[in-house]
Structure 1
Amino acid sequence: MVGSFILLLIFVLNGADGSHIVGGRDAASHSRPYMASLQVRGQHNCGGALVREDFVLTAAHCAIPVPYKVVLGADSLSGNEDTQQEFTAVRSFPHPSYDGHANDIMLLKLNGRAQLTEAVQLISLNAGRLGRANKCLTAGWGDIGDNNTLPSTLQEVNVTILSQQRCRKRWGMVPITSSMVCGIGVRVLQGFCSGDSGGPLVCDGAAAGIVSFSGRRCGDPRTPDVYTRISSFSTWITSVLNNN
């Protein structure tokens, strides 16, 4: 099964891969104030979303053996912006049933509480049904051409939600569970790619999914992008937040 698809993060401390949007566009400056950059040794490694002043939601496959530096309020990761706030992730909560494929969700507790500003904001969680009528997008920093071309600012791309039936048919033998949601770009070769892990799928202004895995070719509609469906884990998220 592992050979049939690519998990979006293979952790390597030296030269860890970054978030990866192909066929997207520059996000308006600080228009996605919930975005978090999870960094190792100064390099962006995974994305995330700020769901409480001291908690970031990301993917379980982003778990690493060293603490992340978490950067909030960033537009460009190469500059020293006054809007940026930096924290250390002092504890990680990967879902206890994460098996390397399903239940790919994790919460990170920060060593302090973010100050909410115009550039740093919380995002609410989507608890409703998703379909083609939803206005969705995903965002991230990293290679924009599937060829190690890095953007200067945060990138975003529109996402069209696919039905479970269509997604399962396209993925074939790879299991697509009810706790996953699938999406494709408006055009071919649009979407996330190897490394855009943990970033949010945002539908109608709320976080509905978490970047989990995709196919061998970025943006290929034959192997739609797969996100962890956040609404499937509402009880678990609430429990972790309330107990910490």
Structure 2
Amino acid sequence: MKVFLVLALAIASASAGFLPQTNFVHPRKRTFTPSIGGRITNGENAVADQFPYQVGLSFSASILRGWWCGGSIISNNFVLTAAHCTSGASSVVIYYGATVRTSPKFTQTVSSSDFIQHASYNSVVLRNDISLIKTPSVTFSSSVNKIALPAIASSYSTYVGQTAVASGWGLTSDTASAVAKNLQFVDLTVISNADCVKSFSSLIVTSRVICVATPNAHSTCQGDSGGPLALDGTLIGITSFGSPDGCEVGSPAGFTRVTSYLDWIKENSGV
């Protein structure tokens, strides 16, 4: 598969007046040049069928360059990803059942007319960074299957102190030059929003965000945007943002908190 160039770094600026002096960057937006290599920083190689809910998303745009994101299968005909991944795209090629990124079990091409991006997505303060992609129906197998959404009863769980797993084909380090050939995963510990807000603005770290610690340069990175953060086989987060200083600097990584959007998901997908 062609490795797409991503957009130039886009950082929220304090010049907006009410915004504090805190920057962030979507993992989609760290620039790289095309070559094979790179993954979640300091992660491990996934084995076949380990993450059957993980999909790769190769977005195209009519004017802008294309970009790579991740997503999660939540039903036979819906994929969940980040709004900053679908924003500005005209279509997407969905890669199903891949461990080696270039060797999916099959692909589907979906037009932006089947994107359901949150109507109140705000790229400046990362509000409502969530989108659905309606797909032709897929048949589940050991390689391609859905991930469970949290129960309504867990909506008030903070998950603080629990270890969740992030997966994707993002960069291996801040000096890496391309998205990964092999699917990677890393275990990350959920931290409190009070700890996360020490690195990012309280306008960004709201109750609808979940953050993880990134010790020893273990983190999500460019190319992981929109991908899953899973806890015991349940999707609790969607990769959303990190520090503009890099993936290995030890700053928290931010995810859209899925429990905050269960009603929105149900209203728009029936799931």
Give TM class, smaller chain.
Answer: 0.7 to 0.9
Question: What are the Cα deviations for residues 77-105 of structure 1, in whole angstroms up to 9, with x where unaligned?
Answer: 223x5xx1211224101111110111100
TM-score by length of 1: 0.87
- In the other structure, the counterpart of 2:12 is 2
Greater mean alpha carbon deviation, residues 99-108 or residues 120-129: 120-129
Q: Give distance in 1, aligned partners of 2:24 and 2:180.
A: 26
- Contact 1:5–1:174 (CA under 8 A) maintained in structure 2: no
- For residue 261 of structure 2, the aligned residue among 225, 233, 236 is 233
Q: Any gaps of 5 or more consecutive residues in structure 1? A: none
CA drift of 1:205 comes to 1.1
Judging changes above 3 Å, is the alpha-carbon distance between structure 1 residues 11 and 115 closer, same or farther for their aligned structure 2 residues?
Answer: farther
Give yes or no for the alignment of 1:199 onto 2:227.
Answer: yes
The structure carrying a bigger strand percent of its residues is 1
Judging changes above 3 Å, is the alpha-carbon distance between structure 1 residues 11 and 114 closer, same or farther for their aligned structure 2 residues?
Answer: farther
Greater mean alpha carbon deviation, residues 3-12 or residues 87-96: 3-12
- For residue 43 of structure 2, the aligned residue among 19, 24, 40 is 24
Give the letter aligned to residue 47 of structure 2: A
Deviation >6 Å, runs of 4+: none
Q: Give distance in 1, aligned partners of 2:183 and 2:27.
A: 18
Judging changes above 3 Å, is the alpha-carbon distance between structure 1 residues 188 and 217 closer, same or farther for their aligned structure 2 residues?
Answer: same
Q: Any gaps of 5 or more consecutive residues in structure 2? A: 1-10, 14-22, 61-65
Q: Give distance in 2, aligned partners of 1:167 and 1:39.
A: 30
- In the other structure, the counterpart of 1:224 is 252
SS, match of residue 61 in structure 1: helix
CA drift of 1:23 comes to 1.1
Give yes or no for the alignment of 1:85 onto 2:106.
Answer: yes
Q: Give the count of matched residue pairs.
A: 233
SS, match of residue 266 in structure 2: helix
Q: Give distance in 1, aligned partners of 2:159 and 2:234.
A: 14
Q: Give distance in 1, aligned partners of 2:49 and 2:39.
A: 18
Greater mean alpha carbon deviation, residues 147-156 or residues 175-184: 147-156
CA drift of 1:172 comes to 4.8
- For residue 238 of structure 2, the aligned residue among 210, 220, 227 is 210
